[in-house]
Structure 1
Amino acid sequence: MISLRFQPCTAGVLSASVSRAGFIKRCDSTKPGRTVRRIGTMAMAASPLEICVKESITTPNKLGDCPFCQRVLLTMEEKHVPYDMKMVDLSNKPEWFLKISQEGKVPVVKFDEKWVPDSDVITQALEDKFPEPPLATPPEKASVGSKIFSTFIGFLKSKDSGDGTEQVFLDELSTFNDHIKENGPFINGEKISAADLSLAPKLYHMKIALGHYKNWSVPDSLSFVISYMENVFSRESFVNTQAQTEDVIAGWRPKVMG
């Protein structure tokens, strides 16, 4: 039995829908508010999965900055699963969406007429329903890099340069650097896995937010972290699903300024 819980992103008004699967062949705009991307030949016979995601707060009809939404989209992209992306405005939650998600949170995906929340649950369901290519991470590696995001947030919000939050964050990056050095180029070796798809959007937020608000970047000494980020960020799946820089900056502003 699947336990349903939400990841911390909230949602609102339908503004656009995008169908995707696998590798892009062409992209056409069919009518206002809807962009249909026709991709490859794999999985196109299947009905696209409906997914509600955060809409950009800076550009209408663009994907927003929720890393948990990107995690699910990355999984669909890597598995070449077609999807129908419903962009929703977090600041204006309509009744139709609150019926899907009583807490008004995204992502949510429709599986067999049932809306399922929580990126952990969704990505596991995708792995079960679409086993090829396999993305499961071995249990002993599943938590690699898992503390980077929380320590990044602590450092980002810190107003005191001497409070130790930067060092705690750097310690986590250093541990990750050592792992990739010994096991890379990905967390589970030669092939990308679910752990990478979970961590990569968070590293993307880390890079943009710390660069903007603290003029900080990953030290050159952590060369394997740098190469890992370059490797993952350059994948077609990531480019297709990444948030705009201005959205990431705007999304973290309340935590930094508050």
Structure 2
Amino acid sequence: MSAIKIPPPATALTISIKHLTCNTNKPTVTTLFTRNCRALKRPRFRRSLTTVAMSTNSVEVCAKASLTVPNRLGDCPFTQRVLLTLEEKHLPYDLKLVDIGNKPEWFLNITPEGKVPVVKLDDKWIADSDVITQSVEEKFPNPSLVTPPEKASVGSKIFSTYIGFLKSKDPADGTEQALLNELSAFNDYIKENGPFINGKDISAADLSLGPKLYHLEIALGHYKKWSVPDSLPHLKAYMKSVFSLDSFTKTMPLTEDVIEGWRPKVMG
């Protein structure tokens, strides 16, 4: 098992300087800590660390390990959704990286189905990103990430149509057009209601859709030499806005991992 503790912002730090490891000579191992390394060198930040009281315990998260780089987060979009939720709520979390190709016994004892993400809340392990994010929202309601019910399904068919097109071997089977129809509908929605699904505020729906669009962009670009058309400018602007969120850049997988993660579905 490989575990990485992700500290919260300075207002809710639960660890001290002596427990942080920052090795700038090994970026692949310490990428998830880089946001702390520079700050730790500043005297002002060091003083604030020692005076902040512990406000909440870390949330334990079992996540897919990288397929290409040791000790890195893997490419699961559902896990990223959960991590985005924790980041946007400024909650500290403890990542337990799992080799999905060789699942350890301790992980299967937690979840016999062997699927990620799995999160420990109130001493209980919870599976399924829908259930996890709802549980986090209920336990930590501020800041709110609730998407109004009438907007919660916006863009919800994009991922399934993307997978259909990605796996397709027949250019004339209509899967590309089905995806374009969903992307066009989303483009029109954002044009009228954006910049995010719930208007000006980021919400749970964006944190669910964002990782899926990220996979879409990388996998279709690699396997199909396909990209989102310029005729969908509002969708492209939305993707750029979500992908540039601080929480997103901290939790996004390596491009190589996204490519390798989808290879079995593409190659059959």
What TM-score results when the alignment is normalised by the length of structure 2?
Answer: 0.85
Aligned to 2:114: 104
Contact 1:108 1:118 in 2 (8 A): yes
Aligned to 2:207: 197
The answer to which of 35-44 and 48-57 deviates more is 35-44
Aligned to 1:256: 266
Q: Is 1:17 the counterpart of 2:27 in the alignment?
A: no
Aligned to 1:239: 249
Code of the residue aligned with 1:15 in structure 2: it is: S
2:177 to 142, 149, 167: 167
Q: Is 1:223 the counterpart of 2:215 in the alignment?
A: no
Give a deviation string over 1:194-220, Cα, whole Å, max 9, x none.
000000000000000000011111000
2:152 to 142, 162, 173: 142
Q: Is 1:81 the counterpart of 2:91 in the alignment?
A: yes
Contact 2:65 2:71 in 1 (8 A): yes
Distance 1:184 1:236 in 2: 19
Distance 2:245 2:9 in 1: 12
Give a deviation string over 1:99-156, Cα, whole Å, max 9, x none.
1001111111111111111100110011111111100000000000000000000111
What TM-score results when the alignment is normalised by the length of structure 1?
Answer: 0.89
Distance 2:258 2:184 in 1: 24
Distance 2:9 2:175 in 1: 40
Distance 1:16 1:60 in 2: 12
Could you tell me which runs of 5 or more consecutive residues in structure 2 were left unpaired when the two chains were aligned: 40-47
1:177 Cα deviation after fit: 0.3
1:44 Cα deviation after fit: 5.0
Aligned structure 1 segments of 4 or more residues deviating by more than 3 angstroms: 22-28, 30-44
SS in 1 for 2:217: helix
Contact 1:54 1:88 in 2 (8 A): yes
Aligned to 1:120: 130
Distance 1:143 1:225 in 2: 16
SS in 2 for 1:91: helix
Q: Is 1:45 the counterpart of 2:55 in the alignment?
A: yes
More strand by share: 1
More helix by share: 2
1:58 Cα deviation after fit: 0.3
Contact 1:44 1:82 in 2 (8 A): no
1:46 Cα deviation after fit: 1.0
Aligned length: 245
Distance 1:230 1:221 in 2: 15
Contact 1:200 1:229 in 2 (8 A): yes
Structure 1 residues 114 and 159, CA, compared in 2 at 3 Å: closer, same or farther?
A: same
SS in 1 for 2:210: helix
Give a deviation string over 1:34-86, Cα, whole Å, max 9, x none.
86846998995211011110000100000000000000000000000111111
Aligned to 1:130: 140
CA RMSD of aligned residues (A): 2.6
